[in-house]
Structure 1
Amino acid sequence: MAHAQLLISYGQAFVAPDRRLHRSSMSVRLPDAQLLKVKGGCAVISDSISRNTLAKQAGDLSVRGFLADYYSTPDHWDTKTSATRVLRALNGWCYSQSKHVKEGSFVSSLSAMVFREREAHLFHMGDTLVFRLRGAEFEQLTRDHVTDIGGYRYPSRALGMDGSVDIDYTHLPLKQGDFFVFTTQGVRGTLMPSDYVRLIRQNASDLDAACECLASEAKQRAQDRGYGGDQFCFQLLRIDELPEESEDHPGLIYGDLPIPPELTPGERFDGLEVLSVLSRNAQSRVYRVRDVHSEREMVMKAPSPELSLRNAYLEHFLLQQWVVERVNSPFVVKVMQSSRPRRYLYYLMQHVEGETLRQWAERHPQASLVQRLDIANQLGKAVQALHHRDIIHQQITPDNVLIDPHGKLVLADFSACHMREVDGHRHSGELLRQIGFNEHTAPEYALGDSVGRRSDQYSLASTVYWLLTGALPYTLTPNRLRSHTDLEELSYRSARTTNPEISAELDDALRRALDPQRALRFRRLSEFLHALRVPLGRVPSREEPRQESRRFWQGVAGILLLLLVLSWLLR
């Protein structure tokens, strides 16, 4: 009788005088039966260069980050899509973080193999090594991406080395009894293929012992040849059993789920009771629901029942939950986990008791400039949190922002969000065009130009301008542009003409953030947010010590001057 479960054994061994200083990291994750069937098991190894002061952190972060994010990807994504998107997102994060450290970097070589059903999927960048032992045949599965500089070999391609990354992908069938060896570049010049075959076969009943033998022999060979042998690691996996062949595609569980029907208050659905309908439009339905078991109130978002299964928005809908789950900010709505398996296509978010920013502004026409700027700053932090995860919101408007009774802001709609690298090279404006432009949309969307973080900066500034003045910055709204010559008709209307309380400095900041030419806006969103904080008296903390230091030395100079004058008078 054929086995319905993939079974894998593994062992590991490190050689290091101090494990805390080891620059390599490795891990294996074999989840429970259901997740193993949908996502498979993972083995990962990473290695950073010896001269990197953050080598240990870089290696650990890349391994933990991949495993955490891979198993959080939507279940309808295939293995290649899930792993590639996770690695691109992780690469972008590592690359951006390296800019903020003075010494070292979050750069590491990485090899990850996903074992799913009867196949293995290998993702590789850098110079880590993966071998397969099948029978007596020992084969290297990875290519070395290295460059020789001054006698040292450096990875020419690695995670976090550049803003974009090329990932080697290999897909191969599995056979029962296959062994896979994961190790690092340091083992080069020590063990021969025959050594691997001999030591693995001699210790096939104990894979940890096999790894220890490999590490011990590699260390001895290195010492015999006169170079350091204190940085070796080995990870060994064996395919014990394979599931029977099947034509099913368990990875498409949620992709195959039907779109929910039209729901009305009082109906029960997947253990949820519909309390009210919050929104209906051509793309989606949004309901306030209550979990009948936990009594927890949440918001459920589902595609519109009229959508075709080939609709581009439906494809993007499946991405939204995973994208938003990556953001951890008090100003961004949180995705909630369902208490039971889903039978239809939807996702759940926290319920925020409050009103939209537009409703708030209508109810508080006498709100002070300080109150409005405080809300503007909260919205800026929400957008900044998205940008830190390389997410472009694309639809910042007063109707997508919620204010609770305590004045706390939450950004709550992600229908058009776009993740750089994750969505490949597809023009991200196509989705927004399908959903529809609005009066706060940046001009480049209507003109079909490239978009990015500064496009969000425009929408944020337009929403802030509206919040402070109740008007729009241009007579002709950018979403109605037809050609680049129409940009000349966009003449900025000073915010001070409508609200005299606005300072000239703040008005200039709004003018720059709202420039029709994307390249002329603030280079960083933080520069615009600084301009919003200054009217509130929130000078960045790093300037305060400078002012205190200046006052101290002015006082010292005054005392010395007084003593000098007194010495002259007493002569």
Structure 2
Amino acid sequence: MLMPTHKALRVTLGQHSLAKPGAVNQDFHGAMLPEGTLRMSKGIAVALADGIGSSRVSQVASAAAVRGFLDDYYATSDAWSVRRAAQRVLSATNSWLHAQTMRSDARFDKDSGYVCTFSALIFKGRDVHMLHVGDARIHRLHPNGLEQLTEDHRVHLSSAESYLGRALGAGPNVEIDYRCWEAEAGEVYLLATDGAYTHLDAAAVHDAIARCGDDFDAAARLLTEAAQARGSEDDCTVQLVRIDELPPADAAQLPMQREGLAVAPPLAPRTRFEGFTLVRELHVSSRSHVHLAVDDASGQQVVLKLPSVDLRDDPEYLDRFVLEEWVARRIDNVHVLKASTIDRTRGHLYVAMEYVDGQTLAQWMVDNPKPSLDSVRRIAEQLASGLQALHGKEMLHQDVRPENVMIDRTGTVRIIDLATTHVAGLADGAGEGRPLAITGTLQYTAPEYFAGHGGSARSDLFSMAVIVYQMLTGQLPYGLQVSRVRSPADVNRLRYVPVRHLRPDLPEWVDAVLQKALNPNPLKRQEAVSELAHDLRAPGQEFLRVRMPPLIERHPVRFWQATTALLAIVSAVLLGVLILGR
């Protein structure tokens, strides 16, 4: 089956399954080759499963595993990475299969339950993702051999006796092998169950492809027939995939495209634009112009954000500009700014977001220079809720700062400005891993970015902790030290300034909680922003049993004054001894 020409990822796929004579086929296979946006956001998936021979229902298990995976994977959030989406789906499938076994007579004999192997490849962007459990195999074809990419999860008791050590449905939980590598155009992959691969070699695969050309379905059928002709007494399933074309390395991964949309010129109040009437400017910078506007159709106030004309030839900036509205539409949390619903066709590039009648957290801090701990906690808890919603979709905000937090007139906190958000699902296949670039404001950026280690959810946690510290003290926990970090040695030289130096009225445990959240090593911080919010509300014993900090940390000036006085006394005593000794 030759896939139609596609401007991005294009493959040729063939598959065939042959039951052993006089028996039900316990293998199952399938593939999904979506077009357009879905191919860009989720990729192409190919999967097969092999039921265990001792079970009368294993063909049900293998069919459920493949069908469930292909259906559910494409229903997961397109913000999730391939690894997270696929493993979540397979874990759910495993739980379902195991539950079927436990509800049947097979609960007394695991070898007769709903159990199967599973192997899959997902081609997304310029990457290949592999998921595997059991003893089916995935090979890469070379001129003179088949490179086995999977590990057989089979335990050998002797040369003649073995059993399947890992499979879907065998237990309530399952460990799933995962690998990812960069694809190359022209590569051919072979997925096969043990009834096929034990009787095939590279020469047979090359011969089948040579005889059938681009008809990979016919080639797969030839290979299953060859396996049986060579003595296979088991079901034989073969899938062949050739990568015909890959998207360019710099191809945009955004499902929401900006092609054909013009960058608008600077707009003045009372101007009509794209079905809106502009009211006034809210913010103007070298990167964007932000206006309060009224939707002429609904009468609703909205915030319109337009890219700067000076950056109209910067594709990376324009892609990030489009990203903001895309992210906002995929987060449903009261503490993250929402995108306005605009159904009409656009002619220009802009972002329409809900209008928040209130003030930024930066202004709130000016108005509240010495806030109570409880008022700071209320803000921190809402901020944590919004960040947790982003992190749950495998998104990192990356620019958490007071100017990007709004507080409305009811006291509700909202995270705004999502243009710097890193989305794992969009980074897949684009040659990106962890976000490495520093996209946020330096004073609030975690030190691991400066050291070149990349960011994580704990990096947003660090930024949130900086804000909490600043709300309480009016200062930054490391001053400007963090922005000077360039190496691990620089990270080790960072010195935290205790909160109680500036606010001695606060409990000691507050310092312990924030010092943990602001640790230069991300692995030593709280695991999630929700944990930090909880610690600020209900500190655990690790924070309540805090030792008194040494004098040099609590009162450095007094420490050096006392040290100087002590040295003066010692010097005077020594001088007196010397004089008397004469």
Q: Is 1:430–2:445 an aligned residue pair?
A: no
Query: What corresponds to 2:246 in structure 1?
Result: none
Instruction: Tell me the CA shift for residue 509 of structure 1.
Output: 1.0
Comparing 449-458 with 487-496, which one deviates more in the overlay? 487-496
Query: Are residues 499 and 313 of structure 1, via their aligned partners in 2, closer, same or farther at CA, if it must alter by over 3 Å?
Result: farther
Is 1:522 aligned to residue 530 of structure 2? no
Taking the TM superposition and a 5 Å limit, the aligned residue runs for 1:231-380 are 254-255=258-259, 257-307=261-311, 309-310=313-314, 312-336=316-340, 338-362=342-366, 368-380=372-384
Task: Check conservation: 2:275, 2:297, Cα contact below 8 A.
Answer: yes
The worse-fitting range, judged by mean Cα deviation, of 250-259 and 349-358 is: 250-259
User: Structure 1: how far apart are the matches of 2:284 and 2:476?
Assistant: 29
SS state of the match for residue 380, structure 2?
helix
Give the match for residue 166 of structure 1: 181
Q: In the TM superposition, what are the counterparts of 1:181-200 in structure 2 within 5 Å? A: 185=193, 188=196
Contact 1:289 1:300 in 2 (8 A): yes
For residues 12 and 297 of structure 1, what CA distance do their matches in structure 2 show? 55
CA distance in structure 2 between the aligned counterparts of 1:328 and 1:474, rounded to whole angstroms: 32
Secondary structure at the aligned position of 1:287 is classed as strand
**Aligned 1:43-122 pairs, distance under 5 A:** 44-47=45-48, 59=66, 63-64=70-71, 67=74, 89-95=81-87, 109-111=120-122
Q: Can you list the C-alpha shifts for 1:23-68, whole angstroms capped at 9, x where unaligned?
A: 766445467xxx79x9799864334675899988875675346646
Q: Is the 8 A contact 1:106 1:160 kept in 2?
A: no
Secondary structure at 1:382 match in 2: helix
Which sections of structure 2, spanning at least 5 residues, go unmatched?
A: 7-12, 53-57, 99-115, 132-136, 157-162, 167-174, 242-250, 541-582
| Deviation digits for residues 77-121 of structure 1 (CA, Å, limit 9, x no counterpart) | xxxxxxxxx7xx12144458989999799985134599xxxxxx9
Query: Which amino acid counterpart does residue 472 of structure 1 have in structure 2?
Result: Q
Q: Please, what TM-score do these two structures have when normalized by structure 1?
A: 0.60
In structure 1, how many angstroms separate the alpha carbons of the residues matched to 2:183 and 2:240?
20
Tell me which structure has the larger Cα radius of gyration: 2
1:452 alignment partner AA: S
* Distance (Å, rounded) in 1 between the aligned partners of 2:358 and 2:87: 38
Return the offset for 1:508.
0.4
Is the Cα–Cα contact under 8 Å of residues 48 and 107 in structure 1 kept in the other structure?
Answer: yes
Task: Report if the CA contact (8 A) 1:147-1:153 is conserved.
Answer: no
SS in 2 for 1:146: coil
Contact 1:496–1:503 under 8 Å retained in 2: no
For residues 516 and 312 of structure 1, what CA distance do their matches in structure 2 show? 30
Given that 1:111 and 1:130 are in contact with CA atoms closer than 8 Å, whether structure 2 keeps it comes out as no
Offset of 1:510 from its aligned partner?
0.5
Residue aligning to 2:463: 459
The residue number in structure 2 matching 1:490 is 495
Evaluate the alpha carbon distance shift between residue 488 and residue 268 of structure 1 in structure 2; reply closer, same or farther with a 3 A threshold: same
Asked whether the 8 Å contact 2:17–2:28 carries over to 1, the reply is no
CA distance in 1 between partners of 2:232 and 2:485 (Å): 71
Change (3 A) 1:24 1:407: farther
Change (3 A) 1:68 1:343: farther
For 2:383 and 2:24, the matched residues in 1 are separated by 46
Distance 1:128 1:332 in 2: 43
Q: Does residue 474 in structure 1 map to residue 477 in structure 2?
A: yes
* One-letter amino acid matched to 1:91: R
Shift of 1:396: 0.9
For the pair 1:417 / 2:421, whether they are aligned, the reply is: yes
Question: Post-superposition shift, 1:296?
Answer: 4.3
Cα displacement (A) at 1:532: 2.3
Distance (Å, rounded) in 2 between the aligned partners of 1:525 and 1:54: 39
Distance 1:428 1:251 in 2: 15
Amino acid of the structure 1 residue aligned with 2:271: E
Aligned to 2:418, what secondary structure does the other structure show?
Answer: coil
Is the 2:473–2:499 Cα contact (8 Å) retained in structure 1?
no
Counterpart contact for 2:384–2:533, Cα < 8 Å: yes
Aligned CA distance change for structure 1 residues 455 and 284 (closer, same or farther; 3 Å): same
Displacement of 1:461: 0.5
Decide whether the 8 Å contact of 2:447 with 2:485 is kept in 1: no
Check the 8 A contact 2:370/2:473 in 1, yes or no: no
* AA matched with 1:370: D
Change (3 A) 1:187 1:54: closer
Q: 1:398 to 1:66 in 2, by over 3 A?
A: same
Distance 1:326 1:54 in 2: 33
2:359 and 2:407 in contact (8 A); partners too = yes
Q: Which residue of 1 aligns with 2:10?
A: none
Helix, strand or coil at the partner of 1:396? coil
* 1:95/1:160 contact within 8 Å kept: yes
User: Cα distance 1:123–1:452, how it changes in 2: closer, same or farther (>3 A)?
Assistant: closer
Quick one: distance in 2 between partners of 1:403 and 1:394? 20
Q: Which amino acid aligns with 2:320?
A: H
Please list the CA deviations of residues 409-439 of structure 1 after superposition, one character each: whole Å capped at 9, or x if unmatched: 221122322345546457845342xx6523x
Change (3 A) 1:55 1:479: farther
* TM-align CA RMSD: 6.0
Offset from partner CA, 1:261-308 (integer Å, 9 cap, x none): 212232222233333333222222233334333444433333221125
Question: Quick one: distance in 1 between partners of 2:447 and 2:349?
Answer: 34
Taking every aligned residue pair, what percent have the same amino acid on both sides?
A: 22
Q: Are the equivalent residues in 1 in contact too, given 2:258–2:319 (CA < 8 A)?
A: no
Q: Give yes or no for contact 1:14–1:233 (8 Å, CA) kept in 2.
A: yes
Tell me, which stretches of 5 or more residues in structure 1 are unaligned? Answer: 74-85, 115-120, 132-141, 173-180, 205-209, 237-248, 537-571
In structure 1, C-alpha distance between the alignment counterparts of 2:529 and 2:61, rounded to whole Å: 28
Inter-CA distance 449–123: structure 2 relative to 1 (3 Å threshold): closer
Q: Is the 8 A contact 1:271 1:293 kept in 2?
A: yes
Secondary structure of the residue that 2:466 maps to in structure 1? helix
Q: Secondary structure at the match of 2:309?
A: coil
CA drift of 1:398 comes to: 1.6
State how far apart, in whole Å, the 2-side matches of 1:184 and 1:298 are.
55
Partner letter of residue 121 of structure 2?
A: L
User: Distance in 2 between the 1:250 and 1:363 partners?
Assistant: 43
**Preserved CA contact (<8 Å) 1:279 1:285:** yes
Shift of 1:367: 6.3
- Looking at structure 2, the residues matched to 480 and 122 of structure 1 have their Cα atoms a distance apart, in angstroms, of 34
Pairwise CA distance, 1:332: 2.3
Q: What number of residue pairs does the alignment pair up?
A: 465
After superposition, the C-alpha distances for 1:187-211 in whole angstroms (9 at most, x for unaligned) are: 8379999xx99xx9xxx9xxxxx99
Assess if the C-alpha contact under 8 Å between 1:506 and 1:532 holds in 2: yes
**Partner letter of residue 437 of structure 2?**
E
Cα 1:312–1:494, aligned 2, differ >3 Å: closer, same or farther? Answer: same
For residue 344 of structure 1, what is the amino acid of its counterpart? H
Is this contact kept in 2: 1:441–1:478, CA < 8 A? no
TM-aligned CA distance change 1:160 to 1:102, over 3 Å: closer
